[in-house]
């Protein structure tokens, strides 16, 4: 859940600062996001994404770069079992006396 909130806040920041130098660049957006993702548990992943971004040229600055960054972030940090857990919680719901309305 926190990863969804992080991405939505990041998108909101980019929307508000679209005119700021670099925010129109998809490579710069991903690079900016990396500066916000910090700590020893994520250092290896952020380093790998940074290396990937460093290989890109100006001609590569297309929306697919941002989309790929978001996909990689989702794959790495979002709860992959979220739908299965929600389904299991729904199956476990039972009417109990005296809470029946």
CA distance 51 to 23: 20
Q: Peptide bond before 98: cis, by omega within 30 degrees of 0?
A: yes
Q: What is the number of domains present in the chain?
A: 1
CA distance 91 to 95: 12
Distance of CA 13 to the CA centre of its chain: 14
Domain-located, residue 99: no
Domain-located, residue 58: yes
Domain-located, residue 35: yes
14-27 pLDDT tens trace: 888 888 766 788 99
**Rg of the chain taking only CA atoms, in angstroms:** 19
CA distance 66 to 62: 8
33-90 pLDDT tens trace: 999 998 998 899 999 999 999 999 999 999 999 999 999 998 888 766 666 766 767 7
CA distance 47 to 53: 10
Domain-located, residue 100: no
Domain-located, residue 97: no
Model's pTM, two decimal places?
A: 0.71
Domain-located, residue 98: no
Domain-located, residue 28: yes
Domain-located, residue 75: yes
Distance of CA 15 to the CA centre of its chain: 16
CA distance 76 to 49: 11
32: its two tokens = 């900016």
Q: Which domain holds residue 25?
A: 2-92
Q: How confident is the model at residue 92, as a pLDDT?
A: 72
């Amino acid at each position: 859940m926190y990863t969804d909130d992080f991405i939505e806040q990041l998108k909101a920041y980019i929307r508000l600062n679209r005119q700021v130098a670099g925010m129109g660049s998809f490579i710069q957006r991903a690079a900016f996001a990396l500066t916000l993702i910090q700590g020893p548990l994520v250092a290896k992943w952020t380093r790998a994404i940074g290396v990937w971004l460093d290989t890109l040229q100006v001609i590569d600055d297309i929306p697919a770069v941002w989309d790929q960054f978001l996909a990689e972030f989702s794959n790495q940090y979002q709860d992959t079992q979220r739908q299965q857990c929600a389904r299991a919680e729904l199956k476990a719901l039972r009417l109990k006396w005296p809470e029946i309305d």
